[in-house]
Copies of this chain bind each other. A is one copy, B any other.
């Protein structure tokens, strides 16, 4: 009982999130959103102020819980290991799991669009605002777990790992392009574990002594 009354505002957010994820921000019209949500066209500009503000709201509704969870897991790790470096796999899990696994729905897919520049310029700033405090907490932790890497090298490896995550979130992108159904698609839980293992092995590898 007492099922949450799905308000107009929430219906708009749900539909907008899905359409933005599937078609992108610019390709999605407010008329499509409101029609699919069964609400009046004007209600978007009433509850939010503009289409772009709607995008911001869609983003913030999900990113806040995700980042809260990330910090929660990181706090738990730091409490568990005190001053010891946190095992790399645990650190990667704290960073990846909330977005990859704990959050259902289409937001992870939309997040990849956010990551690789969804167009509105003002949005880049919002994205940075939410990611910066996460980076400020996680980067030193990674540094303690991988003391052999200088910061620039570490940063680059984190970037590559994030790229792997994005590939996982975009999911079908490559699989359906190339695979003819010949590949076993693992559960998200298994895929996350494999991503962590992949990233950990790569991040631990010795620094190359190639030409610089």
Contacts and interface: CB of A to CB of B under 8 A. Distances in A.
A79 interface: no
Chain A interface, DSSP helix/strand/loop, else mixed: helix
A104 interface: no
A164 interface: yes
Tally of this chain's copies: 2
Nearest to A164: B160
Interface string A150-188: 011101110111111111101001110111001111100
Interface in A138-159: 139, 151-153, 155-157, 159
A14 B205 CA distance: 40
A208 interface: yes
Contacts of A159: 164, 167-168, 174-175
A56 interface: no
A212 B190 contact: yes
Interface in A176-208: 177-179, 182-186, 190-191, 193-195, 197-205, 208
Contact of A174 (B23, B162, B195): B162
B132 A178 contact: yes
A173 B170 CA distance: 17
Contact of A168 (B163, B199, B202, B205): B163
A27 interface: yes
A116 interface: yes
Contact of A152 (B116, B135, B186, B208): B186
Contacts of A127: 177
Given A116-B112, A193-B208, A212-B190, A131 B178 contact: yes
A12 B22 CA distance: 28
A119 interface: yes
Closest 9 interchain pairs by CB? A163-B167, A201-B205, A26-B26, A202-B202, A160-B164, A163-B163, A152-B184, A135-B178, A163-B164
22 contacts: A24-B26, A24-B117, A112-B116, A116-B173, A117-B170, A124-B177, A128-B177, A151-B182, A151-B183, A152-B184, A155-B175, A155-B179, A160-B164, A161-B164, A163-B163, A163-B164, A164-B164, A193-B210, A197-B208, A197-B210, A200-B205, A201-B204
